[in-house]
Amino acid sequence: MSASGRIVVGMSGGVDSSVAALLLRDAGHEVIGLFMQNWADDGSGECRAEEDRRDAVAVCGRLGIPIRFRDFSKEYWDGVFQHFLAEYAAGRTPNPDVLCNREIKFKHFLDAARELGAEAIATGHYARVQRQGDTFLLLRALDRSKDQSYFLHQLGQAQLAATRFPLGGLHKQAVRALATEHGLPTARKKDSTGICFIGERDFRRFLAQYLPAQEGELRTPDGFRIGTHPGVFYFTLGQREGLAIGGVRGRPQAPWFVVAKDVARNILYVDQGHDSPWLQSRMLRSEEAHWIAGNPPATRFSCTAQTRYRQPDEPCEVEVRDDGSLSVRFERPQRAVTPGQSVVLYDGEICLGGAVIATTDAPVPDPKP
């Protein structure tokens, strides 16, 4: 088979990339697997990279396709992890999966595939690419419960033109069934969750290696001190776990949630109630937006948006500002819209693009001495 039909599949060692390679092989393509090492072993014993590497090799052996290896750990550190730390140090909550897709999987991986003479790359992401004239559209996956277009919204035309998502039209149950039918060793492997470089270890303990704990005050929005915390950057808006708040005199026995962070003063504000008014916002401002088609559909338009993964579509009005940032106003209040996360915009099944959230109009506690 000529190199013009060659596709390099990013083999993660999971069932999704395994079936993506299977489908492309059976469709007649010349398939090469490529395993990416994105995180250097830190000696903690928590990294699953070696296990994943073995599984990727086993799958490629089963499918009868070659496998190559690339170490992108330096690129990951420079392009993803340093930004991750800087955002947490600033009191924001970044999304490393979005950056990893833009900087590693659809940049350095794509370059490596081209060095191998491939016409395209493929991954096990649940999303679809559709060509409409000269424009490539990013569409949601058929299985909406697994759709990953939220994490892919930073991709552009050149990347989508060279990318295949073989699982975009399948449900997860069908993917597992195909893996079982073809005897793939990853058929029953548990899906990975959380941030890849943290693995199964405690998030706060991991982050403390890079951002040392700095104890500060826990306060209610009206300024009442109810305890201490190990550092505001260990927490995110809407978080309930890890606050270690016992009974508070004069307060009901109800869960507490993080509602605001004063990074400069190292104060963490908490309130009771999942839907505390301190967590509600109707409007957000973003950093400069990325548009998958290259340009926004208009300077003002209506669409739906997600401010976190797997959130139901929320109707909104979008204004593209002169500096390329967005002003997004929702039809109804949104809970815990978090600076550092992404707002991703949709027109039905089509992902238009998105941007990093900068600020919201959620109420801010008045700092008191």
CATH of the domain at 284: 2.40.30.10
The reply to whether 60 falls in a domain is yes
Query: Percent helix, strand and coil across the chain, each rounded to 5?
Result: 25, 30, 45
List 135's β-bridge partners, or say none. 132
47 is catalytic: no
Contact 162, 119 (CB under 8 A): yes
The reply to whether 327 falls in a domain is yes
List 14's β-bridge partners, or say none. none
Q: What is the pLDDT of residue 195?
A: 67
The reply to whether 367 falls in a domain is no
Residues 257 and 291 in one domain: no
Measuring CA to CA, which residue among 5, 19, 32 is closest to residue 125? 19
Range of the domain at 291: 279-360
The reply to whether 209 falls in a domain is no
162-201 as b/e: b if 16+ CB within 10 A: bbbbbbbebbbeebbebbeebebbbbebeeeeebbbbbee
Residues 328 and 259 in one domain: no
Contact 56, 140 (CB under 8 A): no
Instruction: Count up the domains in the chain and report the number.
Output: 3
Residues 117 and 265 in one domain: no
The reply to whether 127 falls in a domain is yes
CB atoms within 10 A of CB 311: 13
Q: Which of 47, 100, 303, 316 is catalytic?
A: 100
**What CATH number did the domain enclosing 222 receive?**
2.30.30.280
Residues 240 and 270 in one domain: yes
Residues 17 and 138 in one domain: yes
Residues 23 and 120 in one domain: yes
Contact 231, 217 (CB under 8 A): no
* 4 secondary structure, DSSP code: G
Residues 65 and 84 in one domain: yes
The reply to whether 186 falls in a domain is no
The reply to whether 295 falls in a domain is yes
Please give the chain's pLDDT, 369 residues, in tens. Answer: 344 489 999 999 999 999 999 999 999 999 999 999 888 765 555 557 788 999 999 999 999 999 999 999 999 999 999 999 999 999 999 998 998 999 989 999 999 999 999 999 999 999 999 999 999 999 999 999 999 999 999 999 999 999 999 999 999 999 999 999 999 999 999 987 666 666 666 788 888 889 888 899 999 999 999 999 999 989 999 999 989 887 788 788 889 999 999 999 999 999 999 999 999 999 999 999 999 999 999 999 999 999 999 899 999 999 999 999 999 999 999 999 999 999 999 999 999 999 999 999 999 998 765
- Residue at which a domain ends, from 274, 291, 318: 274
Q: What is the pLDDT of residue 216?
A: 95
Residue 104 Cα distances to 98, 117, 197, angstroms: 10, 19, 14
Residues 223 and 329 in one domain: no
**What CATH number did the domain enclosing 41 receive?**
3.40.50.620
Q: What is the pLDDT of residue 198?
A: 65
Contact 260, 237 (CB under 8 A): yes
Q: Which of 47, 60, 196, 316 is catalytic?
A: 196
Q: What is the pLDDT of residue 194?
A: 64
- Residue at which a domain ends, from 163, 181, 199: 181
The reply to whether 190 falls in a domain is no
Q: What is the pLDDT of residue 366?
A: 82
100 is catalytic: yes
Measuring CA to CA, which residue among 48, 50, 20, 15 is closest to residue 33? 20
Residues 139 and 124 in one domain: yes
Gap between the terminal Cα atoms of the chain: 73
Length of the chain: 369
Residues 33 and 160 in one domain: yes
Q: What is the pLDDT of residue 1?
A: 35
Q: What is the pLDDT of residue 4?
A: 47
Residues 120 and 37 in one domain: yes
Contact 171, 193 (CB under 8 A): no
Residues 221 and 349 in one domain: no
